Structure 1
Amino acid sequence: MFERNKPVPELMITDLDRSLAFWVSCLGFTVAYQRPEDGFAYLDLDGAQVMLEQVDPKAGQWLTAPLSKPFGRGINLQIDVKAVAPVIRKLGEMGCPLFRECKDTWYRAESVEVGQREFIVQDPDGYLVRLVERLGERPAFSI
């Protein structure tokens, strides 16, 4: 059994097969385990983990309001990858457009800036997924 992270987001989705095609085939996740009869899969990518659960009105799921697309409004999931270029290529081959083009960004964190090459893509239900390649740190400039 593998080690589970704290926390692990669970995303409500409309079609498990379509979501698995995106998360596994395009982004490179593996299925740690799944319960197809429940429309559920637990995914992992080098320690980044996410659960997918297909919406089922008869299952008593924890929904606070009716779902409407795009799902996940107000959240984006940042996921570290070794390199973003192969993922961008795979997304292009699969016909998945980027929500935000790839760029290098530096974020201040106290006395340093943390660099990351990042882009954003939407999964089939509209969740924003930001994939990040780490660029290292540099001293921050005073404001």
Structure 2
Amino acid sequence: MLTRNKLVPELLVTDLTRSLNFWVGSLGFDVAYERLEDGFAYLDLNGAQVMLEQFDPRSNQWLTGSLSPPFGRGINLQIDVGAVSPIIKRLEAASYPLFQASKDTWYRADRLEIGQRELLVQDPDGYLVRLIEPLGERIYSPSNQVI
């Protein structure tokens, strides 16, 4: 039985099949359930969840403004994955462009730094997806900072 998270973004997409090819085929999500007659799919990747809904101008979708690509301006969806390298291989096999190549980054969180190998890619509608492989934590020290 799927345990639904308390926060699950629902993304309007222009072509559900194309989006499923990206989210499932390239990123490795599973389809938890779908309502193809409604152009809807609920996806899960080890607890990271997202809903996709195909845009239909004739339906009563919750639009706060006009949709124009790239969708989701100003937001990136961080998704914790076990490893980014298998995802990179699938994206390369699909000739899918990266927004930013994989790199290791450390972010300060009070007295700690949280490390992650991160890869950024846009989905077919332009939503920015940041896939991260956790690298652990370390005590913050100004000497850790790259100048």
Match of 1:37 in 2: 37
Question: What stretches of structure 1 move > 3 A for 4+ residues in a row?
Answer: none
Deviations 1:33-57 (A, max 9, x none): 0000000000000000000000011
Q: Distance in 2 between matches of 1:83 and 1:93?
A: 17
Give the corresponding residue for 1:5. 5
| Structure 2 SS opposite 1:59 | coil
Q: What one-letter code is carried by the residue in structure 2 that aligns with 1:34?
A: E
Length-normalised TM-score, structure 2: 0.95
- RMSD of aligned alpha carbons: 1.0
Give the secondary-structure state (helix, strand or coil) at the position aligned to 2:104: strand
Q: How does 1:42-121 map to 2 (within 5 A)?
A: 42-121=42-121
For structure 2, the 5+ residue unaligned runs are none
Shift of 1:113: 0.2
Please list every run of 5 or more consecutive structure 1 residues that lacks an aligned counterpart in the other structure.
none
TM-score (norm. length: structure 1): 0.98
Q: How many residues align?
A: 143
Q: Distance in 2 between matches of 1:69 and 1:86?
A: 28
What letter is aligned with 1:52? Answer: L
Cα displacement string for residues 9-53 of structure 1 (whole angstroms, at most 9, x for unaligned residues) = 000000000000000000000000000000000000000000000
Residue type of the partner of 2:24? V
CA distance in 1, matches of 2:107, 2:23: 27
